[in-house]
Amino acid sequence: MHAILPGALWRATPPADRSQRPRVRVRVAKQVRAGATATVRWTATGASSVARWTIELDGRRVATRGSRRERVLRMRLTSPGHHRLRVAGLDAAGARVVASAQTVRVLRKRLRTPGRHRWRVLARDAAGDPIATASRGFRVLNAR
């Protein structure tokens, strides 16, 4: 092996053991209805230097938790679509020690009122003026 690799590329020591690096695992439901509460839980191994946890939703910090507090966050998700939840552990100096992310799909709100309803679609031209409308009736039999 020494004959093939030059001296700079040869390592006499093995690479760092992956099991010793700090890791965090984020758990959250894959799908949530808009307006419902999502519960985010995280567990950390080897992260004894973490002073606080920050939780971000689509790159915006939504919560901060101390390292001694329960590792659970309940939050209401309102806008439908795919969102990225990220949990990062910071040390006392504010440097990131460990981070992990999970994607959550927020489904549109269900219509809960029983009875007759109408969908109305309005088409507009480039100037924003209405050019056509279409509507369709439907019924909600039993709402849960």
Question: What CATH number corresponds to the domain at position 41?
Answer: 2.60.40.10
Read off the pTM.
0.64
Query: Checking DSSP bridges between strand 31-33 and strand 96-107, what pairing results, if any?
Result: parallel
Enumerate residue ranges in the chain where pLDDT < 70. Answer: 1-19, 111-115, 117, 138-144
Q: Is residue 8 part of a domain?
A: no
- Find the radius of gyration of the CA atoms of the chain: 25
CB 36 within 8 A of CB 112: no
25 and 82 fall within a common domain: yes
| Eight-state DSSP code of residue 12 | S
pLDDT of residue 73: 92
Residue 126's domain comprises 112-144
Q: Is residue 2 part of a domain?
A: no
Of residues 106, 58, 105, the one with CA closest to residue 85: 58
Of residues 65, 68, 72, the one with CA closest to residue 39: 72
127 and 103 fall within a common domain: no
103 and 139 fall within a common domain: no
pLDDT of residue 140: 63
Any long-range contacts for 106-109 (C-beta under 8 Å, 24+ apart)? 106/31, 106/32, 106/33, 106/34, 106/77, 106/78, 106/79, 106/80, 106/81, 106/82, 107/31, 107/32, 107/33, 107/34, 107/80, 108/33, 108/34, 108/80, 109/33, 109/34, 109/35, 109/80
68 and 122 fall within a common domain: no
pLDDT of residue 12: 61
pLDDT of residue 112: 62
pLDDT, tens digit (0-9, with 9 covering 90-100), for 30-41: 999 998 999 999
Query: Total structural domains in the chain?
Result: 2
Q: Is residue 16 part of a domain?
A: no
96 and 120 fall within a common domain: no
Query: Checking DSSP bridges between strand 72-76 and strand 37-45, what pairing results, if any?
Result: antiparallel
